Chain A
Amino acid sequence: MGNAIAFYVISALILGFAMLVVTTKNTVHAVLFLVLNFLAVAALYVLLTAQFLAAIQVLVYAGGIVVLYLFVVMLVNLKRPPEDHSAPQRRPWLGFALAGVVLAQLGAILVWGGAGDPVDPHTMQNSDLALNNVERIGMLLYTDYFIPFEVASMLLLVAMVGAIILAKREL
């Protein structure tokens, strides 16, 4: 019962903040709402007894990536002139159509994706998985999902090198 209430409240927060991110006029406010969004997602993870993931969500997303977003937003003065909003190449209907397609795909995954029956959070609480979060994730990452792990790290390395080349004064 308590879990259900918590879930609905947190989901409302997540959706609310996400709406605010795209509708606020002030860019810095939008980034801050994004942070709150991520924190709410972390709360959701805790609800699902994925504490490790929650901590990583806060540490990496909210505490690392969005901070760098903030740097860029604060230092680079992005001011689009208002005429841009009604420029001819902007086609709102295309945006809505694509969003609808993505929504349909997500729905299809949910219904036919074979996610299985939802697990009762109470049994999850004291299960082996909850207590050995880190170990289990570590095992999975380095055995079953080894290749995606390595590919992801290569991607990050490429991004870092690219950023350094763009920003360095003399090579």
Chain B
Amino acid sequence: MIDTYFIPLVKILFVLNATLIAVTYMVLLERKVIAWVQVRLGPMRVGPYGILQPIADAVKLILKEDITPARADKWVFTAAPILVMVPALITFAVIPFGPSVHLFGRDIPLYITDVNVGLLYIVSVASIGVYGIILGGWASNSKFPLLASLRASAQLISYEVAVTMTLVSLIMTAGSLSMVKIVESQFNAGLWFIFVQPVAFVLFFIGGLAETNRAPFDMAEAEQELTGGFHTEYSGMRFALFFLAEYANMIVVSAVATTLFLGGWLAPFPNVAWLNVLELIPSWMWFLMKTFAFLYVFLWVRATLPRYRYDQLMRLGWKVLIPIAIANVVVTGIVKVLF
């Protein structure tokens, strides 16, 4: 009884809260990191070193007037931000933060659940996230947001193909779709998969940037283009939800990349005995460190690189990433068969 209901519930509450707090503070982290790259300080006034800035932002947005455009489709207009946020959050159900720990006389695994098709679950849930963007643009009943949302969703779908093909070669290397088993196979191999599949890592990173609409692939939200893109007509907390969903997606992509390529909760060289001193740092701490390193690279890239034009972006996805991903699958298959 306790094992099937109570413990997972506690885990769910914990993970959800932690994620939502992390997402809110990602806003501050991004502003600070980009500011420091740009020789500025970022938010400094609210709280010491700007720590309370996200709370101030949240309070401001909640207190703003909630405007729904006159002829917008009310149900869909309300549902769109939800449809972007929910898939990002439910992905955390299968991400393994660590192996089993012994607490209160029980063995509690540090993940909410281990579905045997975990990776596929993540990809399919991510594809639902596209709906929020399309419907957000359409429900605003206005020309520019609709066009912008269709562009953004076309970008998402194209890069989904590339990312899924990349993951195929990774699944072949790991031999399983379950997230926990992938980490365990990295333990058995003694190597993080980034060394085994470097091409897949690069492709996944680029695809992840495009999937989350981040620079250099953020043409859909660039202010220099047609107004504000698909979230032009949104105000207040709904607008905030779109942005928070983007950060949540970023965290999801980082967590997935950590699990797949950087060994999840494993310390570097997990099999080497004399490096076991690294195990003094708890496994979930390793996971968090790696995820944040990945997130930092996301922010770093945004601060540095210019933006791709939309047609160049699509050409990159279809004509460059997908062929390389397919070639990677073929090569992985050959290597697996021969060795």
Contact = CB atoms under 8 A, between A and B. Distances in A.
A and B touch in the complex (CB under 8 A): yes
A134 B121 CA distance: 13
B292 interface: no
Nearest to A49: B116
Contacts of A131: 116
A63 B127 contact: yes
B150 interface: yes
A158 interface: no
B76 interface: yes
Contacts of A64: 127, 157
A58 B76 contact: no
A35 interface: yes
Contacts of A59: 120, 123-124, 127, 164
A110 interface: no
Contact of B121 (A26, A55, A74): A55
6 contacts: A26-B73, A29-B76, A35-B131, A64-B127, A70-B131, A133-B117
A67 B73 CA distance: 18
Interface of B: 73, 76, 115-117, 120-121, 123-128, 130-131, 134-135, 138, 146, 150, 153-154, 157, 160, 164, 177
Interface centre among B116, B134, B153 (most CB of A within 10 A): B116
B125 A58 contact: yes
Q: Which 5 residue pairs of A and B lie closest in terms of their CB atoms, listed nearest first?
A: A63-B127, A59-B124, A58-B124, A55-B120, A55-B124
A62 B128 contact: yes
A71 interface: yes
Contacts of A74: 134, 138, 146, 150
Interface centre among A51, A52, A55 (most CB of B within 10 A): A55
Nearest to B164: A59
A32 interface: yes
Contacts of A56: 120, 124
A28 interface: yes
Nearest to B171: A134
Contacts of B115: 51
A51 B178 CA distance: 12
Nearest to B176: A134
Contacts, number: 66
A98 interface: no
Contact of B120 (A32, A52, A75): A52
Contacts of B135: 32
A152 to B, nearest CB: 17
Contacts of A70: 131, 134
Contacts of B160: 63
B171 to A, nearest CB: 9
A104 B125 CA distance: 37
A51 B115 CA distance: 8
A51 B138 contact: no
B138 A55 contact: no
A26 B74 CA distance: 13
B96 to A, nearest CB: 17
Contacts of B124: 55-56, 58-59, 62-63
A160 to B, nearest CB: 12
A112 to B, nearest CB: 34
B134 A67 contact: yes
B207 to A, nearest CB: 15
Contacts of A35: 131
A48 to B, nearest CB: 14
Contacts of B125: 58
Nearest to A70: B134
B131 A55 contact: no
Nearest to A73: B138
Nearest to A67: B130
